[in-house]
Amino acid sequence: MTRKMDSTKRYEKLREAVGNGDVDRRTFFGLLGSAGITAGLSGGIMTAMAGQARAAGAELHFEGWGGVVSEALRKHAFDPYEEATGNEVVDATFGGENEVLTKIKAAGSTSGHNILHSSGVSWYKRWVDNGYHVVLNEDNIPNLEHVMTAMIEAFRAITPDGLSAVPYNYGTTGIAYNTKHISEEKAKELGADLLLDKELKGKIGGWGGDWANRAWYGALQSGQDPNNIEDWDAVWDKAREHRDLVLKYWSSGAELMDLLAKEEIWVTEAWSGRVAALQAQGHPIGYMDPPNGLAWMESMFVLEGSPIEEAEELLNFMLDPETSIAVAAGQKYPSALDPTKIDMPEEVQNLPAFDPTGKLEALVFRNPETWNPHEKKQGAMWNRVKKGG
Amino acid sequence: MPETATPIDKRPMVLLTPAFIAIMALVVIPMSFILVYSFYENVDLAVDRVAFQFGNWEQLFSDNYYHSAIWKTLKISVVVTVLAAVLGYLPAYFIAMTTFRHKWLLLLLLILPFWVSFIIRTLSWIHILGNQGALNGLFQWLGLADAPVRMMFNEFSVMVGLIHVFLPYMILNIYVSLEGIDRNLEPAARTLGATPWQAFREVTLPLSLPGLAAGSLLVFVLTGGSYVTPLILGGPSDFLFGNLIYDSVVTELNWPMGATLSFTLLVLLGSVVILYSRFMGLNQLSKAFG
């Protein structure tokens, strides 16, 4: 098993474990101290040894969202793949794909970046527009036939000559709330406006990392169709209203879970799978998708310069129904496999956002045609609004 | 009698060459690239056009958003520097003046935090100041508060985080300065009738000012260039100029604007260093590191 895990990642894992009650506070601080000393003393040696260990077999660098998602991929996909093929998957965590794009642009090469757990059709288009895509040989990925047509077509529309990614999972960004302090009735009654409830000032969170997420909710709160926003001023007015009530904008899934689990915040928009993970851990967290709530799909994107055949082999392995279902159950996001073709266990069927029809018609996705043209201007606007502008 | 030409001593030049090459390669040339990039035009996200235009600089000079960020950064940097100086002087004085045989142990304790990642040290404040943190637990256990006192995700927690991270730089600088003072001076002042406070105020403190100033310069410059601490410990409106650079480069994928802001920060902080050099002399910094 090869896993690139820095001190921060280790710390986040430890915090999650403390949040789950798996590690008591005394042990936590003991481990924290030991981790610091160990990292200081052994970092160099371990890096050198890891380099030697990787000398044999092909190496694929994977970057994903961290936390329970990475845990599931490592356990159910990468470890078995490494065992079966002798190749190695070096997985790392990013805060967003913009970080990866910045690194690649700065380095002038995709070296060290092969497969991304890419978010949405918009990012698929961005990677393609920047020339970082490949053309996958779909014959080498026979398990692609199990994937929902609706998902494949969304990506194929951008690259009709061949896919550079395989759809992998989907989910929603709904509203998570602490049921000890907010009733289900109140949550349903207020919908997206629950995030603007003045009574909850200082107990509200928000995702700071994505302008479109904030704008989507601003559109809902200002009574507009998120896929056809006409009044951007009204959207940002709602974002300002939200900002004045917010304790903290979170920037990663681990931080979201930590803030909710520790009850630093009682309500926030949240990723469905992360909330399902918190619920499975026994935290009193409710979840709802307000009308016109935001849905998204994720893919495994292969970057230009990667060892293609090995990457295709890994993707096929990841799409194997047994692996894909295990990952879905582990990461708490429904699999991209068509449930009308592949039997899904009850555990997956009960996940938030799961669509038994395999057509995804009940979910509302971001339309790249209407969103992408606004990204440059409105993305910068969000950064200002977030900071008090 | 014929004059003999004095041979030119080339040793200083030879000794300085590696440092000169390193500074050119690692500072001057990259910063020149950044300056050039600031004239490029960002056409779309992550798409830049080679150009020579002043749009980014115009935006910087005309947009109040950037001015308020500069003001906020300077304000926080000054407050953090003053607090670090006040808080750092006492331990530095203690370490310098103690007769404890194993003084090295105290210095080791001072640099021990550097063994732990800066991010982890910053994140640890959540466990101390958070709603379920150690301090709130203590307050409630002592009956001082019924509900958690809000201490996290505001300007206070940002300053606490910055002081925590940069305090050792201040202490080390002051310590080195104090260590160089003749131990007989304070007793001499006392024999001439000075009270302990007068002896400190009129002898020790003035002599330690170079170290205090060097520590202040380092803390000021490091605080002014910070962006991770406000990101982790701050609320929505707690940001520094460095956070605007992060936004431009990483989230907006607008490198030309990011380059403009980076160069501006370099000029601002560089001006502080030049001012320091003008009044104190940069040689105090080298003294601080032995």
Q: Give B131 or B75, the one with higher predicted confidence.
A: B75
pLDDT tens-place string over residues A303-361: 999 999 999 999 999 999 999 999 999 889 999 999 999 999 999 999 989 999 999 99
* Contacts A43 to B, Cβ<8 Å: none
On whether residue B237 sits in a domain, the answer given is yes
On whether residue B240 sits in a domain, the answer given is yes
* The dihedral sign for the CA sequence A44, A47, A49, A55: negative
Residue numbers in chain A where pLDDT is lower than 50: 1-11, 14, 18-23, 25, 28-29, 32, 35-55
On whether residue B182 sits in a domain, the answer given is yes
Domain ranges of chain A: 1-52, 53-170+296-361, 172-295+366-386
Name the residue range of residue B212's domain: 63-288
pLDDT of residue A11: 47
With bands split at pLDDT 50, 70 and 90, how would you rate the model's confidence at B5?
confident
On whether residue B15 sits in a domain, the answer given is no
Q: Which of A371-385, B149-163, B205-219, B267-281 has the lowest mean pLDDT?
A: B267-281
pLDDT of residue B283: 66
Q: How far is CA A298 from CA A13, A33, A217, A236, B101, in A?
A: 23, 37, 20, 27, 62
pLDDT of residue B287: 58
Q: A23 near A31, Cβ under 8 Å?
A: yes
Q: How many domains does chain B have?
A: 1
Q: How far is CA B237 from CA A386, B72, B78, B124, B166, in A?
A: 7, 10, 18, 21, 22
Tokens 């003393």 belong to residue: A41
First to last CA, chain B: 47
pLDDT tens-place string over residues B175-192: 999 999 998 999 999 999
pLDDT of residue B289: 52
Q: For the domain A53-170+296-361, what is the CATH code?
A: 3.40.190.10
Report the CATH number at residue B119. 1.10.3720.10
On whether residue B36 sits in a domain, the answer given is no
Candidate CATH numbers 2.60.120.380, 3.40.50.11540, 3.40.50.300, 3.40.190.10; the one for domain A172-295+366-386: 3.40.190.10
* Contacts A7 to B, Cβ<8 Å: 116-117, 119-120
pLDDT of residue B95: 94
- Any A CB within 8 A of B155 CB: no
Q: In the predicted model, what is the mean pLDDT of chain B?
A: 91
On whether residue B6 sits in a domain, the answer given is no
pLDDT of residue B1: 52
pLDDT tens-place string over residues B88-121: 999 999 999 998 888 899 999 988 988 999 989 9
Supply the pTM of this predicted model.
0.80
pLDDT of residue A39: 45
| Number of other residues whose CB lies within 10 A of the CB of residue B155 | 17
Q: How far is CA B250 from CA A94, A115, B215, in A?
A: 12, 20, 31
For B131, the closest of A37, A40, A263 (CB atoms) is: A263
pLDDT of residue B288: 53
For B65, the closest of A36, A379, A384 (CB atoms) is: A384
pLDDT of residue B213: 92
Name residues 232-271 of chain A within 8 A of B (Cβ).
243, 246-249, 251, 258, 262-264
pLDDT of residue B282: 65
ipTM of the shown complex: 0.78
